[in-house]
A and B are shown apart, each in its own frame.
Chain A
Amino acid sequence: MTRRRRQRLVRGLLYASAVAVVVALAAVADVDLLRRNFLDREIAATMFPDVLLIAARNTIVYTALAFTFGLALGLVLALMRLSSIGPYRWFATVYIEVFRGLPALLTIFLVGFGIPIAFQVRWPILVQITLGLGIVAAAYMAETIRAGIEAVPRGQMEAARSLGMSRGRAMASIIIPQGFRIIVPPLTNELVLLIKDTSLLFVLGTTPATKELTKFGRDILTARANATPLIVVGAVYLLITIPLTQLVAVLERRNARAR
């Protein structure tokens, strides 16, 4: 009884202090200044429709390309890590360790500038973007996919083999589809991370038509010396990422029911 009362008291105090902090901040803050710098209607209006038709679109396209490439390469790497052939396993392990250990920015530089200097080739920007982000994404996804494959009960492989399926066939038809179901949530997490990582792509150089959200917002921020563009592009990011995480929650619930 006393314990419960004490708990209620603590909780009441926590609520009260939260309210106090908010009130204090509101009192101290210069609301008008904030509004002018972060919520300038006129500046926000000039950003449309390009923020959606160009910047958001580019962010989505870059993410999709890198994700697709990363997923495909990640699957190959995961299978290599699970291979009984030593050199495949070693290669995959080294790849994964290296590209998870390096800053993504460094890899993007490597693809965008290192390779052109070393090999005298200049890839189209979309290829650079796909590789720059996808190479790193593949390293993370490989580990996720491997965990998914390993989470499929052993009996599944045995049942498939006992029906005469080869190991590869069993992987493709039985194990990998189940593994992917298991890893939809972490893969979506990686997709969201990737969306945010597209903000690093500015280092590859941009034209007005290839800007993604962050670069787009930042350029207006610099030109107008006003932070409103950050709020606008931030809202657009959330508009993309929040439905995605919600969708996953729905899928997860449906998956749980099907099992």
Chain B
Amino acid sequence: MGPSDTTGAQDGAPVPAIRIGGLHKSFGDNHVLRGIDFVVGEGEVVCVIGPSGSGKSTLLRCVNRLEEADEGSILIEGADIRDPDADVDLLRSRIGMVFQSFNLFPHLSVLRNLTIAQRRVRRRSEAEATEVARHNLARVGLSDKIDAYPAHLSGGQQQRVAIARALSMDPDMMLFDEPTSALDPELVGEVLEVMRALASEGMTMMVVTHEMGFARDVADRVVFMDEGVVVEEGPPERILVAPEHDRTRRFLKVVADG
């Protein structure tokens, strides 16, 4: 396994799902991530909050290498994904990702959206993939939409299908990038409900969100980011109610007023 083992596990402590150390990322002159350290434990739900442009999406996207970090380490279950020999496709297939804009495949039915990667990446049989798809559609409460096309679904339904699509790969963890930001207010609840259920089932989740209610109720830990660094982190009752830093307070006030 090599050197990644030693950095991943410490003194027999359980290996965290995600361990990020000294992460830097620039887009040209724009130094977006300036030394990020943090850990998501197995089964933990971590919400990342922070102002627009603070680098939350970039951080999330570095975790499954949709963005290549410039410096630092990202260990997924102890294995360094920045290793040039790492199998990126295998890695990504174990990390579910949910996007702000859903990104369902519009030319495929809901069922095919859920089965295509199972078939092509996991090499599951049609029957098995369909079975898994049905199971996950039921989890998000959309069994009756199995033959629908994405264009015929509401935004909330599309996002739930996107979650079911990610779950159909049996991921070890899920990344959410503002999954409800593109939704009409009345559709936010149904998506958050699905995410709540996932969390209570013990899924490891890293969630970038502006939904403070969700962070308060569901997160084990809240991470506040600003200008490419983690300003502070801790349990939601502390970070959201009695933060140490001014920057955090200001941000929370803006969110509360907005």
Contact = CB atoms under 8 A, between A and B. Distances in A.
Interface of A: 153, 155-156, 158-166, 169, 173-174, 177-178, 181, 258-259
A169 B117 CA distance: 10
Given A161-B92, A166-B89, A258-B151, A181 B117 contact: no
Given A169-B120, A173-B120, A259-B151, A162 B105 contact: no
Contact of B106 (A158, A165, A173, A259): A259
Interface string B158-173: 0000100110010000
Interface of B: 64, 66, 89-97, 99, 101, 103-107, 116-117, 120-122, 149, 151, 162, 165-166, 169
B90 A164 contact: yes
A162 B95 contact: yes
Given A162-B66, A164-B93, A173-B120, 15 more contacts: A155-B103, A158-B99, A158-B103, A162-B92, A162-B97, A162-B166, A163-B92, A163-B116, A164-B90, A164-B94, A164-B121, A169-B120, A174-B105, A181-B107, A259-B151
30 contacts: A155-B101, A156-B103, A158-B103, A159-B99, A159-B103, A160-B105, A161-B92, A162-B64, A162-B66, A162-B92, A162-B97, A163-B93, A163-B116, A164-B89, A164-B90, A164-B91, A164-B92, A164-B122, A164-B169, A165-B117, A166-B89, A169-B120, A174-B105, A174-B116, A177-B107, A178-B106, A181-B107, A258-B106, A258-B149, A259-B106
Contacts of A169: 120-121
Contacts of B105: 156, 159-160, 174, 178
Contacts of A161: 66, 89, 92
A165 B120 CA distance: 7
Given A174-B105, A181-B107, A259-B106, A163 B121 contact: yes
A258 B106 CA distance: 8
Nearest to B89: A164
A169 B89 CA distance: 11
A166 B87 CA distance: 10
A161 B105 CA distance: 12
Nearest to B121: A164
A165 B66 contact: no
Contacts of A173: 116, 120
A163 B103 contact: no
Contacts of A164: 89-94, 117, 121-122, 169
A84 to B, nearest CB: 13
A80 to B, nearest CB: 23
Nearest to B64: A162
A163 B66 CA distance: 11
A158 B97 CA distance: 10
